[in-house]
A and B are shown apart, each in its own frame.
Chain A
Amino acid sequence: MDRTAVIGVGMTKIEKNKVRETFADMMWEAVNKALDDAGMTIDDIDNVVTTSSDFWDGRTISCMAVGDASGAAHKNVSCVEGDGAYGAFYGMTRSLSGSYKTTLVTGHSKGSQSVSSLITNSAFDPIYERGLGMDMITACAMQASSYMHRTKATPEQLAMVSVKNHGNALKNPLAQLPMKITVRDVLESEMIADPLHKLDCSPISDGCAAVIIAHESVAAKFKQKPVWIKGVSICADSFFFGDRDLSRARSLTEAARKAYAMAGIKDPKKEIDFVELYDAFTYQELMWLEEMGLVDDAMAGKLLEKGEFDMDGRLPVNASGGLLSGHPVIAAGLYSMAAVVRQIRGDAGGFQVKNAKTGLVHGLNGLGGQSHCVFILDKDK
């Protein structure tokens, strides 16, 4: 199989409410930053994949809002609905199929413009579940209960994820919520949905991100040193919560296993240098690390206490501050990908980690992480 690489990334600052900008304005900024980063012009891009959601955007055919600002006019274009990581996945296959050389992948979201509870309630089955009034927060809170019950992870350990990631965000100028907080601050913040406190939850955010994926035949032609996509996989679990073991994410285990195999990784605990994962809620960082096989079962909380996932720890996790520090839904996976790319290139600035050669990017779709996407990016081809 051919290879592809990420050769440019661009992001807006993540903010609570970009009242001064439309979707297209945000897109224009992110796309131009990505083109500048790659040393390209829009004419060097031969196809575009936008990522958006009709629900989050309050617009049928939500991709229509950003087609022009993505530079898609007179080009081949498509739209993935879901997390940006899935957009990047599809963008990559468009190069691997031999059809295109340079794919611009974009993702945009404005949580500020809509009501998250109603939008995520719409992800429940309309006939059997929706009328009960659950949403993403209560669904994930229920998952957190399951996870904590099985693994004996403590509220303090969950809180430490928040402390760490908000602290990391102090080094990332794009983050929405850089904060120096304590475990006590988290535990004393408002209880939103048991067992999740306000500071266990990611905020409502606006933001837009773009990445440029190139086929190996052109990857070295532009300004940046390519960051290679070595492995990727997606896997979806059952839909109904009651069909799954909610304390587990077997689809993530499977996606990670396949991504490692594709990347030739035999021992992920040793070979993955750092991770940007989907920490919409604190428990998710611990749970996803275990389910990806990066730490032993039910051990993530204890290792976190030891500082293993700190920016200077054994396995830095969400050095960018993660989604707890700014969560533009849909764009999120592309922000994580961009953070990993910058780490591998060595230009992550204040949140640069040491020895960043092989990084893992994680995105997800659906309630309680039903579907997962795992990318392995590497400095070497």
Chain B
Amino acid sequence: MVSRITTFSFEGVEARPVDVQVQLSSGQPAFLIVGLPDKAVAESRERIRSAFAAIGLAFPPKRIVVNLAPADLPKEGSHYDLPIALALLQAIGVVPGDALHGYAAMGELALDGALEETVGALPAAMGAESMGLALVCPSACGPEAAWSGGRVVPASSLIGMVNHFSGQNPVCDARPGELIDAPAGPDLRDVKGQEGAKRALEIAAAGGHNLLMVGPPGSGKSMLAERLPGLLPPLTARELLEVSQIQSISGHLEQGRLSRSRPFRAPHHSASMAAMVGGGVKARPGEASLAHHGVLFLDELPEFSAQVLDSLRQPLESGQAVISRANRHVRYPSRFQLIAAANPCKCGGGQAELACRKKPFCKADYMGRISGPFMDRIDIFVDVTAVTPADLSLPAPLEGSRDVAARIAGARRLQEARFENAPAERRRLNVDASAADIDALFSVENSAQELMLQAAEKMGLSARGYYRTLKVARTIADLEGGTAIARHHAAEALTYRQRSVELPTLQTARS
């Protein structure tokens, strides 16, 4: 007789059903777990043994074989303890024969039989819901799992589960955790001066464009970037679910509380490739995935290693981070908005870039660390000049984050309507428009078209560069109420293109 229960293994944010089968047979007493368990799964033997001893149960002197099917899928993590223990309890007759029918389970056992929090409860609960099963999970994960909308049984200990399944003391279903409001972030009103940079930030926020701010230290680049989440509209229900799944897998959801504010991730420039796009032993999501539907802020962009930056090119293009392993690929969604900041050169530049003694080569060297293809994916380049004392003495600007956010929300509504029929996995933003969308949905005035063509020729815009400029122009027009792209919209968009560092010829440098 084989007793069985369903659990899940995680591939990216997807929960794959795993059938836990327990069979008892006579012969040499043994406890075997088969089905490609990793170390943490194989060790669950000892945890289950202790937990059983803690509730006064001994293993029967039998040959116990636990199979995790499909047997060729590697099983990682500690959440297999509870399903194995439950199936075993049924096999030895502590839990009635059909009690586990209609249930899936996940959770780690402590030696005293208590259940410990594990990651991935939300994707597991969604997987269980889609299969029409109720999920048994540690009570600490209950509020998080309950967001799936399915039935979730929070388990605080193994003995509690025995009482639940034998009908002596049924446990109430878990309730979803609270939805916390976005905490009030810093206000754009605190930034004095920098009108040009603020405008660029507003455009970037409205259309989801990638932005690079270049300016000397202390000019307010980081200050501006920190104010971006306050400008963005809250996550939609669908986006919230995607973001929460990633947070659940990486263990970032505390007490099942979800937040509608967009993620803002600011990794340090010493970050490794695994930290950025995901990886490690268990193929965890990286910063690029944690910033899904939010903002990835890279301060001191040229200080990041070239390899790390180039690893971001693929997620930037496809909206997915793919981690390749010897026997499989793990995919995490990572559709983020890239905001980067850089000093103009290694020396920092200072006021009007006078402090640099090695200019202009210093600047060319420093910016040259960032590869061309990476730069090509940045839509808006903006110089953030140093703040003068005169700027600081000015009164605070009248316009705060709230006014700007309202304009951005308006522009986003226009985009929402425009990309109504776009595929579901794409954001409804100008930045994600395909070339076909641009031809079909962007109305461009003739004068603007002319200007674009002239500029493309003069500035040597690539096809990608041309389309990206057009998308920025579309966003600018959307901020003004969504008319056709006029000449002045195109002109402003063109000013945000990257300008190469002008190097003097060798002769002028010598003179």
Q: Decide if A and B are genuine partners.
A: no
Q: Which residues of B contact A (CB under 8 A)?
A: none
Chain A residues near B (Cβ < 8 Å):
none
